[in-house]
Amino acid sequence: MKVIRDERLVIKNLKNIRIAFAFQTLAMAGILIYDGITRGFNNVTDNPLWLVLILTSVILGYLNLGISVDSYESEKQLRKTPYYLIVIGCLTIGIIFGLLTKITSNSSVQDSTIIGLVIFLCFLGTFSFWHFLIKKRSKDEDE
């Protein structure tokens, strides 16, 4: 098999992969929805397809984040936000979600703390990656 060098064929190949990926994701979501309707939501989260779907969504989100930073950067200059403000913002979001969990579900303090911590770490990871990409792009421009 030869390596494809024509740009039109490479783009066509990427479009085919995108269509196959979309079909595969929709099929997995359909299987999980059917499983959830017939057996209940607890069986959906026990299914290995659930983990694959969640991990695929997270990976796709992080890969698209790099593209959106490039797109946003080409439209206008990015603001350089200090990192401590990102940490404080993520901590605020985690605390809000923890408090909402405690108020709405009458769960224990330990459960609401764990949920707030997980939300904090998820937001911190995403915004740290975004901050790293912006910092890297600005260093590349300065050189």
**71 and 1, same structural domain?**
yes
**97 and 57, same structural domain?**
no
Q: Which of 58, 76, 94 is the last residue of a domain?
A: 76
Q: Which of 76, 91, 111 is the last residue of a domain?
A: 76
Structure tokens at 42: 């607890």
What is the predicted pLDDT for the residue at 75?
45
In this predicted model, what pLDDT tens digit does every residue of 42-67 receive, in sequence order?
A: 888 888 888 888 888 888 877 777 67
What is the predicted pLDDT for the residue at 87?
92
In this predicted model, what pLDDT tens digit does every residue of 70-128 receive, in sequence order?
A: 555 554 555 677 889 889 999 999 999 889 888 887 788 898 899 889 999 988 988 88
Residue 41 has pLDDT above 60, yes or no: yes
Q: Which of 76, 107, 122 is the last residue of a domain?
A: 76
Residue range of the domain that includes 117: 78-143
- 92 vs 89: CA distance, rounded Å: 5
**84 and 55, same structural domain?**
no
Three-state SS sequence of the chain: CCCCCCHHHHHHHHHHHHHHHHHHHHHHHHHHHHHHHHHCHHHHHHCHHHHHHHHHHHHHHHHHHHHHHHHHHHHCCCCCCCHHHHHHHHHHHHHHHHHHHHHHHCCCHHHHHHHHHHHHHHHHHHHHHHHHHHHHHHHHHHC
What is the predicted pLDDT for the residue at 120?
92
Question: Could you tell me if 73 and 138 are in contact, meaning their C-beta atoms sit under 8 angstroms apart?
Answer: no
- 97 vs 112: CA distance, rounded Å: 8
**100 and 40, same structural domain?**
no
**46 and 3, same structural domain?**
yes
**53 and 3, same structural domain?**
yes
**1 and 68, same structural domain?**
yes
